[in-house]
Amino acid sequence: MQQAPGILQVLQGKFGSKILSSDMSVLDPTITVEGDSIAEICSFLKSNEALAFDTLMCLSAVDYKGLKGETDRIELVYHLFSMKHRHQIVLKVLLPREEPSIPSVEQIWDIANWHEREAYDMFGVTFNGHTDLRRILCPDDWVGYPLRKDYVQPETYRGMPVAPGKQFVEMAQDGLQVGTDPFREG
């Protein structure tokens, strides 16, 4: 079992400048890497005998916007775990909020297929090389990326009001009687 500094050392030895920074003092030691080389780094992490990260525990996207002292960005966080050696590491990639894109790691861990679809659905991150990049939780023709901090809910979807509660409040203020059906004509 390797501790996080040892894993960092191996990565720095192999990839040098593609390893941007690291933080070993937090609860889950994190290594920030360059976005374009994520696929080769993850492939190395899985195939290397001493590291053997055979499981992608979680792939999350986080939208940082408007926080004091932080640059606006979308972070992709990869939680990796090795069932063989029982050690774990966190990889982070920083992406710009406009048109974020990154190579897909679907070929390395099959579960990345669905996790990346969810990151695309909720944040709009494009994964190059993904075989089936389409929405997973929202309907296929939904507009907008819901978990972004500046997401504005559309008023209607295919002609149906998305938040009918709000419209009822407005209609009540306009004098709608309780118990009538507001969507029937006449």
Binding footprint of other proteins on the chain (CB under 8 A)? 26-28, 54-58, 60, 62-63, 67, 77, 79, 83, 86, 90, 109-111, 113-114, 122, 135-139, 146-147
- The vertex-72 CA angle with 20 and 116, nearest 5°, equals 70
The CA distances from residue 29 to 43, 88, 113, in Å, are: 20, 9, 25
Q: Nearest approach, Cβ of 26 to other proteins (angstroms)? A: 6
Q: Nearest approach, Cβ of 176 to other proteins (angstroms)? A: 27
Q: Nearest approach, Cβ of 180 to other proteins (angstroms)? A: 28
Contact criterion met (CB below 8 Å) for 94 and 86: no
- The vertex-37 CA angle with 35 and 40, nearest 5°, equals 140
* Secondary structure class of 128 (helix, strand, coil): strand
Side-chain half-sphere CA neighbours of 75 within 13 A: 16
96: left (phi over 0), alpha (psi -120 to 50) or beta: beta
Q: Which is nearer to other proteins, 36 or 155 (CB)?
A: 155
Q: Nearest approach, Cβ of 114 to other proteins (angstroms)? A: 4
Q: Nearest approach, Cβ of 111 to other proteins (angstroms)? A: 4
Contact criterion met (CB below 8 Å) for 125 and 103: no
Q: Which is nearer to other proteins, 41 or 46 (CB)?
A: 46
Q: Which is nearer to other proteins, 33 or 59 (CB)?
A: 59
Q: Which is nearer to other proteins, 20 or 58 (CB)?
A: 58
Q: Which is nearer to other proteins, 36 or 65 (CB)?
A: 65
